[in-house]
Amino acid sequence: MSMSDPMSDRSARIANSVMLFIAGMLVITPTFWMVLSSFKQSFEVTAYPPKLFFTPTLENYVTLSERTPFLHYAFNSMVVTVGSTLLGLILGTPAAFVASWTRITWPAIVTLVARMAPGTLFLLPWYLMFRQVDMIGTYGALILTHGVITMPIVIWVLLPFFDNIPRSIYEAAQVDGCAPARVFWKIALPLVSSGLVVSTILAFVFSWNYFLFSLVLSNSDTKTLIAASFNFIGEGSTNWGGLMAAATMIALPPLVLATIVQRWLISGLTLGAVKG
């Protein structure tokens, strides 16, 4: 579509490829390393120089499923992540709509600040509060606290989506007989559907990967997968192979999810493309 000369066109393409390659390597190398290590014997994992060729073993995965209640932890993670993602959507979606409608964004900024604050800030007050109401070790406490992770994501992903809806469309709906709550359900929500997909995925992934609150507020029965994986880091020796096998399993659900919805994810993250 451009008239630029083929030479510079080509060098631009090459530069693009090189940069994509570097970015790709940065992301893929540790993942590759992780997956590879999970199939090695423990002593091989830390060997230097690292071995690319070795006899793969499922030993680490066997350990994972036989010596730890892996499935139970996975179930915990699923409960907490799904619960907190729903919580974030239920609270965050109307909040984003109202913030956009009224143009009052300071509450959204407060949630963002809360999200950016180090999680350790919340630990002590939450520990005390949940102990007071006897909720330490419950799914409820974990779901509620993970709401601090999910809700700001939902709000901040959806805000620009709502802002993009022309105001007169809301106004037409009002004139057509919708009270504000109905404008939200009938008009605004369907128009931000791709934003909902994006915010759900992001909230899910961030909540799934968050370990700090679970370390303190769960008990052995409600521990999430990622918090439990820290058990492999021992006092004296760390079972790297086991840890890598656990990490590989933990990385799987978000990866699968992101792959399934990647089309929406990309169009949603580059909001301009879905406008109009």
Partner 1 sequence: MASITLKKLSKAYGALTVIPDLSLEIRDTEFVVLVGPSGCGKSTLLRVLAGLEPISGGELYIGNDLVNDVQPSKRDIAMVFQDYALYPHMTVRQNMSFALEMRNVPKAEITEQVDRAAALLDITKFLERRPKALSGGQRQRVAMGRAIVRNPRVFLFDEPLSNLDAKLRAQVRAEIKALSDQLKTTMVFVTHDQVEAMTMADRIVVLKDGVIQQVGTPEEVYNQPVNEFVGGFIGSPAMNIFDARVEGGKLLLTDGTILDAPKSLREGQSVRLGIRPEHFVPDLSGVSVPVKLTEPLGSETLVHFDLAGTEAIASVPPDTPARAHGRLSLRVAMNKAHLFDPETGASLRQKTLEAV
Residues that bind partner 1 (CB under 8 A): 166, 168-169, 171-179, 182, 186-187, 190-191, 276
Q: How many CB atoms neighbour CB 122 within 10 A?
A: 18
Minimum distance from CB of 96 to partner 1 (Å)? 18
Q: Which is nearer to partner 1, 67 or 167 (CB)?
A: 167
Minimum distance from CB of 176 to partner 1 (Å)? 4
Minimum distance from CB of 160 to partner 1 (Å)? 16
What residues have CB less than 8 Å from 60, skipping those under 6 apart? 38, 39, 40, 42, 241, 242, 244, 245
Q: Which is nearer to partner 1, 194 or 214 (CB)?
A: 194
- How far apart are alpha carbons 134 and 121 in whole angstroms? 21
- How far apart are alpha carbons 73 and 223 in whole angstroms? 6
Q: Which is nearer to partner 1, 56 or 180 (CB)?
A: 180
- How far apart are alpha carbons 207 and 229 in whole angstroms? 16
3-state percent breakdown (helix, strand, coil) of the chain, nearest 5: 75, 0, 20
Minimum distance from CB of 95 to partner 1 (Å)? 22
Q: Which is nearer to partner 1, 56 or 166 (CB)?
A: 166
In 3D space, the residue among 221, 223, 217, 219 whose CA is nearest the CA of residue 127 turns out to be: 217
Q: Which is nearer to partner 1, 45 or 192 (CB)?
A: 192
Structure tokens at 21: 């390659």
Minimum distance from CB of 177 to partner 1 (Å)? 4
**CA 221 to centroid of chain Cα atoms:** 23
Minimum distance from CB of 184 to partner 1 (Å)? 13
Q: Which is nearer to partner 1, 136 or 178 (CB)?
A: 178
- How far apart are alpha carbons 80 and 243 in whole angstroms? 21
Alpha-carbon distances of 114 from 83, 149, 226, rounded to whole Å: 20, 9, 22
Q: Report the sign of the C-alpha dihedral through residues 249, 255, 257, 260, in that order.
A: negative
Minimum distance from CB of 194 to partner 1 (Å)? 11
User: For residue 53, what is the DSSP state?
Assistant: S
Report the SS3 class of residue 103: coil
Q: Which is nearer to partner 1, 1 or 175 (CB)?
A: 175
